[in-house]
Structure 1
Amino acid sequence: MKVYISPRRQAKIKVFLKAIDSILSGNPKQKSKMDTLSLNNKNVEIESGQFLKHFPEVKSFIKAKKADSTVAWADNGVFVSPENGRVITKSELESTDKVLENERLEEERDNARMAATMYKQQADTLSKTLEKKLGEHHEMFFVLLDNIPDAKKERIIKKFEDNVRPINAGFKEV
């Protein structure tokens, strides 16, 4: 049984299909307005000048076209693979979306782990360098302090103690 589709709706669907073909061929008319030249809902809307809001069958066709570029549109709103004439179901489209989403999430997780290990290594090397520099300055301070007369030394230490508050920022004492 064939479902009735109004001529106006058929014309809009035809515009969407032309937009999809022009994006896939690589020469859309609205190329300057697109962020990337890839097949997605936003680019199809830009190229066609129409909104996909009320055309769920076109949205699912875009998903099918992303998964398999040989998929063809049939007039009754289903998609047919031209190789074997097999009809592509909505559940197949959803399963491919879930697989792609899982791959994207795994990649994000791996990138986050790599970044965390890199930052930990940087923090470790910086803390070791800081400990070394503090040790050198500590020794230099006491060498210079030994060369100052005792009366002047007491005034400097008093001034130093008044201006500096001891804070342990997680550093080991050297």
Structure 2
Amino acid sequence: MLEMLSLLACFACAEAASLPVPDVGTPVDVELVLAVDISQSMDEDEFALQRAGYVEALRHRDFINTVRSGTNGRIALAYFEWAGVVRDDGVIAWQVIDGEDSANAFADKIASRPFRSFRGTSISGALGFGTGLLEKSAFSAPRRVIDISGDGPNNTGRPVAAIRDAAVAEGIVINGLPILI
């Protein structure tokens, strides 16, 4: 969990239904997409570790201080769960994180999600979906990042290298967070 906190804090430097949609071009320090593996290869302990790590990191004082210390003092954050595909009900839309209240609200949304899993592991599909979220965001950021966590190889969908290379060519940073117990 400490590694995940460190990574989230670094990314912060470098739409919830109850919140207003940001104006097009709203400046943030980073647009960060959390892509979370819920494939059947994730056992309950791995899934719980993964989720608890994100929730704890978002609530941690160091993360919040790092977000606030950026040029704009805010980041844009989106979250989605993936397996062989990404389902609409597995997405938490973009939200601005600019302090403790917004970080805790986002963490609460992650924490309240039901545990579930689906067949297949399409890392390429997850990267493609995350890239699409970044392309359609209403924000302006000097840095765009996809953190993709998981515990297994791509076994469905297109080859990962082509999707990864296309995202990197668009200036997107991709971080892989292996979840192995």
**TM bucket, shorter chain:** under 0.3
Higher strand fraction (1 or 2):
2
Q: TM-score of the superposition, structure 2-length normalised?
A: 0.23
Higher helix fraction (1 or 2):
1
